[in-house]
Amino acid sequence: MVALSHIVQIRHIVKDTPIPGLSIDYENWELTCDWRTLYTCFFGEEKVFHGHLSTWVKEEAWAADMRQQMAWGEINMIAVLDKAIHSFADGFEDAKRAAQRARIRRQYKEKGWEEPDFEDEGVLADEKSILKTLKDTEFHAGFDKKMHGKTKMRRLGKLKWRTRRLLTSP
């Protein structure tokens, strides 16, 4: 597996999708690529991710176990919520990993390369590093999204109101 060489962000979604037909004109500061194929690959991987995530949610074995433990008095509601949040986070990460692996397998097959061994410690370390970088970047992209538009204006409005109140209070 290779190291992360680029990141593609479309709105708040971040992936390391290949950029087909990439051409950079340094003199004119222009970047061109096959946008249609880029979007197809990007959102295709996103669709695979959502498919894995919905399959995980439908299985609900973890939820049935927690309901049973709660009914027997083995755990309380706080513990159920804590386990549910952690279970969902784990399922979310597993779905991201599965979607990325499906894309990587397809890319390797198209190029006639041997499929990476996802059980190899070196490959797993690379994958973990890449997924962490993507997760951190997506977090910041999502934060940036929240700071645009009406949300940003509401926050600025509240800040102005608080500032005015502080200045006019005795």
pLDDT of residue 132: 82
Mean pLDDT, the chain, integer:
77
Please choose, from the candidates 10, 11, 12, 15, the residue with its C-alpha nearest in 3D space to the C-alpha of residue 133: 15
> Which two tokens mark 168?
């006019």
The mean pLDDT of 144-159, rounded to a whole number, is: 48
The mean pLDDT of 67-75, rounded to a whole number, is: 82
Domain ranges of the chain: 8-136
Distance from C-alpha of 42 to C-alpha of 33, rounded to nearest angstrom: 14
pLDDT reading at 43 higher than 90: yes
- Could you give the C-alpha distances from 35 to 17, 39, 45, 166, in angstroms and in order? 12, 6, 15, 50
User: In whole angstroms, what separates CA 103 from the centre of its chain?
Assistant: 15
User: In whole angstroms, what separates CA 60 from the centre of its chain?
Assistant: 22
